[in-house]
Structure 1
Amino acid sequence: MMFEGFLFVIHLFLHTYCQLQVVAQCFINLLRWWRVNKWNADIFLNQTKNLGKIPGHVSLMFLEEDTPVEDIVKPIVWCICLGVTTISLYDYYGRLRSKKLDIDKELREYYSDFTKNCRNSPKNQPSPRIQFVSVENGRTDLVYAARDIAQDLLNGVVKEVTKVNYQNYHKVFRNDHPDLMMKFGIHTTLAGYPPWPVHLTEIISLPTCHMISPYNFLDCLNRYFKIEKRVGK
């Protein structure tokens, strides 16, 4: 009898736990919907019109595991709305590159929703260059660049190596270095990010990209504009 009562308590506990999980997931979905739908491109751009010169190249570094694709594309869309010309997406292992099709699909859907029926929709702006970056674009990219330079010198394709033509051997970050990096995650690290493109980059950390809102993004931009730009100092 006592054993049956114990089993009943366990069953009741598990049933309650499962119900709480369903309620929690419904709350998270409702909160996500509210965060997305209370903003649109008009409201967003109105909040940014007096900020200052928008960075031309923004790098988004994702250090978290299993970030939902719908959260990954949000800061990309907000960068597009601002007129950012180059967006670099970085994760250490290059998993984002393998999700390119899913990211492209979710990006189109969220961009359409965010700019729907908006007067300030940036549809006439040229499409930005979106590039995927991983640790392979660090030392490995340098090795490949050195190999290609040596081969071209031997073949007489180039007579000497200058700063200008050296940049052309990189697969990414040729003459376009990030002005701003938004780093998502609690770890204080560049996680193998190629060091040479970010020597003048302003790096701002956010604890997470999960359920990110335009408010979080705008707060990051405000912090960026309050930083005294180093410009080689």
Structure 2
Amino acid sequence: MMYEGFLFVIHLFLHTYCQLQVAAQFFLNLLRWWRVNKWNADILLSQTKTLGKMPGHVSLMFLEEDIPVQDIVKPIVWCICLGVTTISLYDYYGRLRSKKIEIDNELREYYSDFTKNCKSSPKQQISPKIQFVSVENGRTDLVHAARDITQDLLNGVVKEITKVNYQSYHKVFCNDHPDLIIKFGTLTTLAGYPPWPVHLTEIISLPTCLMISPYNFLDSLNRYFKIEKRVGK
């Protein structure tokens, strides 16, 4: 009898726990919907029109794991709406690159929802360049570039190495270094990010990309525009 009563208590506990999980997920989804869906491109553009010229190249660095793709594409869409022409997506292991199709699908869907029925046209009139970056684009990319340069010199494809043609051997960041990195995560590190493109890059940290809202994104832009730029110094 005592054994059956114990099993009943365990069953009741597990049932209650499952119900609480369902309720918690419902409220999280509701909060995500409320924080994001009340915004659209019109509101975003009106909130940023006094900030100044937007950075041409923004790199989004994801140092967290298990972030839903729906949250990953939001800052991408916001960058597109503000006229950012190049967007780099960085994660250490290159897992985002393997999710490219899923990211593309979510990106189109969220962009359509975010710009639907907007009076102001987003600033981005052409398709932005979106590139995936990982630690492999650091030291490994340099090794590959050196190998390709040597081969082309031996084959007579190039006669000399200059800064211009050297840049063309890189897989990413050929002639376009990021103006701004927005780093998602609590770790104070660049986590293997290729060092040469970021010597003049401003880096803004946000604690998480989970359930990110336009408020968080605007906060990072406000902080960026308050920084004294180091170009030419």
Q: TM-score range, shorter-chain basis?
A: over 0.9
| 1:93 corresponds to | 93
After TM superposition, the score normalised by the length of structure 2 is 0.97
**1:212-223 matched pairs, under 5 angstroms:** 212-223=212-223
Q: Distance in 1 between matches of 2:91 and 2:130?
A: 14
Task: Say whether the 8 Å CA contact 1:200–1:232 is kept in structure 2.
Answer: no
Task: Say whether the 8 Å CA contact 1:63–1:92 is kept in structure 2.
Answer: yes
Give the CA deviation at 1:137.
0.7
| 1:18 corresponds to | 18
Q: Distance in 1 between matches of 2:205 and 2:178?
A: 15
**1:66-215 matched pairs, under 5 angstroms:** 66-122=66-122, 125-215=125-215
Give the CA deviation at 1:93.
1.0
| 1:62 corresponds to | 62
Give the CA deviation at 1:10.
1.7
| Deviations 1:39-98, CA, capped at 9 Å, x for gaps | 000011100000111000000011111111110100000000000010001111111111
Q: Distance in 1 between matches of 2:36 and 2:223?
A: 22
SS at match of 1:229: coil
Q: Distance in 2 between matches of 1:81 and 1:4?
A: 61
SS at match of 2:132: strand
Q: Distance in 2 between matches of 1:171 and 1:67?
A: 26
Amino acid at match of 1:146: A
Q: Distance in 1 between matches of 2:92 and 2:32?
A: 27
Q: Distance in 2 between matches of 1:22 and 1:34?
A: 18
Give the CA deviation at 1:124.
6.5
Give the CA deviation at 1:3.
2.7
Amino acid at match of 1:85: T
| 2:42 corresponds to | 42
Give the CA deviation at 1:232.
4.5
Give the CA deviation at 1:6.
2.3
Aligned length: 233
Q: Distance in 2 between matches of 1:85 and 1:57?
A: 6
Amino acid at match of 2:70: E
After TM superposition, the score normalised by the length of structure 1 is 0.97
Amino acid at match of 2:181: M
Q: Distance in 1 between matches of 2:111 and 2:17?
A: 37
Amino acid at match of 2:167: Q
Unaligned runs of 5+ in 2: none
Q: Distance in 1 between matches of 2:149 and 2:19?
A: 62
SS at match of 1:194: coil
